[in-house]
Chain A
Amino acid sequence: MNSTGTAVRPRNENAPSGAPNERALLERVKMHDVDAFERLYRIYQPRLARFLINLLMRPQLVEEVLDDTMMVVWQTAESFRGTSKLSTWVFAIAYRKALKARARWPDPVEDEDRDMRVSNDPGPDSELERSRIHDALISAMAKLSAEQRAVVDLTYFHGLNYREIADIVSCPVDTVKTRMFHARRRLKQTLSGTFTDWL
């Protein structure tokens, strides 16, 4: 049930076109159909991995949390009532699991010299330039809180609207907007210090 936005990006993987297939798979998962679960896993694994790696900042935890998330899907599929999108339900499970995992592994200490090294890199060719941008983005994301990273990634990459994000992270929509506002401001400050053409 996406809004009728001006230009829903093709990479919005929660588009309604994909939903019926996922729901059909879940119905089979409820009957403990492993083949259906594998197909569902293959749909969600890349999306969850991407979401979790941004949220956790601990690559070694991503597999654990992702597996635990999909185990909950497998074990409690019958509890999904269809009042939200399947993706919202799955991402909400992943978000809760990730926050619990983070409690055991606090965010790493930021490398304060990192930005300087990145910005000093001359980057004469396009590949190196892309690498510099990627590094800067990752470094900028690292300066955000986990809650902000979740909202940023669900917005920019996963293409979700703020109501869906509020459902996933279990907070009011105004909180989502506020987190996004402060996250954007911090990202902009960080990135504009690295790339002058961003402003």
Chain B
Amino acid sequence: MPNPIQTEVSPHDAAEELLPWYATGQLEPDERALVEQHLSSCAHCRRQLAFERRMVDEFADLTPEIDTAWARLRQRIEPPRRTVARPSLWDRVAREAADFWQNLSRPAVAVLATLQLAIIGGAGAFVTLSQESYQALSSAPLPASANVIVMFGGDTTESEIRGLLQANNATLVGGPTPADAYLLEVPSQSRTAVLSHLRADDHVTLAQPIDGPQP
């Protein structure tokens, strides 16, 4: 198969395209040789290489003050915007970790009876969900078949949720709760894989087992 660089792009264009990565030392030896051979005979590319090197240096120097610079720029290009409080990453991670170890350390039956999932509400307050809480927060008692709890991002549409459930062979058996959590039933033999798929999806903000570790 012919190399398009050799057949469709002139040596000058090929070398000029590679100059940024020549300046950062990120070319393979054959590419570097091609660039160096061209540089020896092209004043334009030598000037361009000087530009590339200066850009690399300027970008490195830009870092320490970038926050200040952006704050300045933001004041000029947009009015201050009210920000919505979000739960911090560490709140979310710490809670997940606690749940994970709790699930591991308790028998499945006990987990279902005593599971405590603290889910952060929209205003940042904690809403504690236990089996009783699920019943209180859901429109119906916790279905016996529910084995996964899931939360979706605020911009997720109903059709995206439906597609996600169908793709994972999951059945909606409860929710939304006031904390916007949904209770799902997924085939027990594929629960681990389904959880993994759900967590990898950009629309899913939380996916947890609620019937203990995989049998």
**Residue ranges of A at the interface with B (Cβ–Cβ < 8 Å):** 2-9, 11-12, 32, 34, 37, 41, 50, 53, 59-60, 63-64, 67, 70-72, 74-76, 78-79, 96-97, 100, 104, 108-111, 114, 130-131, 133-135, 137-139, 142, 153, 155-157, 159-162, 174, 177-178, 180-181, 184, 187-188, 198-199
Q: Which of chain B's residues have a CB closer than 8 A to the CB of A111?
A: 76-77
Q: Which of chain A's residues have a CB closer than 8 A to the CB of B202?
A: 72, 96-97, 100
Bound-state CA distance A139–B29 (Å) is 35
- Known contacts A3-B27, A109-B77, A161-B26: A156-B56 contact under CB 8 Å: yes
Asked if residues A59 and B74 are in contact (CB atoms below 8 Å), the reply is: yes
Bound-state CA distance A122–B158 (Å) is 56
The residue in chain B whose Cβ has the minimal distance to the Cβ of A67 is B89
Asked if residues B101 and A32 are in contact (CB atoms below 8 Å), the reply is: yes
Asked if residues A5 and B196 are in contact (CB atoms below 8 Å), the reply is: no
A39 to chain B, nearest CB (A): 13
A128 to chain B, nearest CB (A): 13
The residue in chain A whose Cβ has the minimal distance to the Cβ of B36 is A6
The residue in chain A whose Cβ has the minimal distance to the Cβ of B28 is A3
Asked if residues B26 and A187 are in contact (CB atoms below 8 Å), the reply is: no
Within 8 A of A (CB), among B130-167: 155
Within 8 A of A (CB), among B72-98: 72-74, 76-78, 81, 83, 86, 88-89, 92-94, 96-97
Asked if residues B72 and A135 are in contact (CB atoms below 8 Å), the reply is: yes
Bound-state CA distance A71–B28 (Å) is 35
Bound-state CA distance A3–B30 (Å) is 11
Dominant secondary structure of chain A at its interface with chain B: helix
A26 to chain B, nearest CB (A): 15
Most chain-B CB neighbours within 10 Å: which of A53, A139, A155?
A155
Q: Which of chain B's residues have a CB closer than 8 A to the CB of A199?
A: 47, 51
Can you list 14 residue pairs at the A/B interface with Cβ under 8 Å? A32-B96, A53-B67, A59-B70, A75-B199, A75-B200, A76-B196, A79-B196, A130-B65, A134-B69, A153-B59, A156-B56, A159-B25, A184-B48, A187-B55
Any chain A CB within 8 A of the CB of B21?
yes
Bound-state CA distance A177–B22 (Å) is 13
- The total of chain B residues at the interface (CB under 8 A) is 58
Bound-state CA distance A4–B27 (Å) is 7
Most chain-B CB neighbours within 10 Å: which of A32, A139, A188?
A32
Any chain A CB within 8 A of the CB of B125?
no
Asked if residues A184 and B56 are in contact (CB atoms below 8 Å), the reply is: no
Q: Which of chain B's residues have a CB closer than 8 A to the CB of A76?
A: 196, 199-200
Q: Which of chain B's residues have a CB closer than 8 A to the CB of A130?
A: 61, 65
Asked if residues A37 and B199 are in contact (CB atoms below 8 Å), the reply is: no
Task: Pick the residue among A12, A60, A157 that contacts B81 (CB under 8 A).
Answer: A60
A185 to chain B, nearest CB (A): 10
Given known contacts A53-B70, A75-B200, what 17 new A-B pairs fall within 8 Å (CB)? Answer: A41-B89, A60-B81, A67-B89, A72-B200, A75-B96, A78-B196, A79-B200, A96-B202, A104-B155, A108-B78, A114-B77, A133-B58, A135-B69, A137-B62, A139-B73, A153-B59, A156-B56
Task: Pick the residue among A7, A72, A137 that contacts B58 (CB under 8 A).
Answer: A137
A121 to chain B, nearest CB (A): 13
Q: Which of chain A's residues have a CB closer than 8 A to the CB of B17?
A: 177-178, 180-181
A99 to chain B, nearest CB (A): 10
Most chain-A CB neighbours within 10 Å: which of B65, B66, B100?
B66
Bound-state CA distance A55–B21 (Å) is 20
Any chain A CB within 8 A of the CB of B109?
no
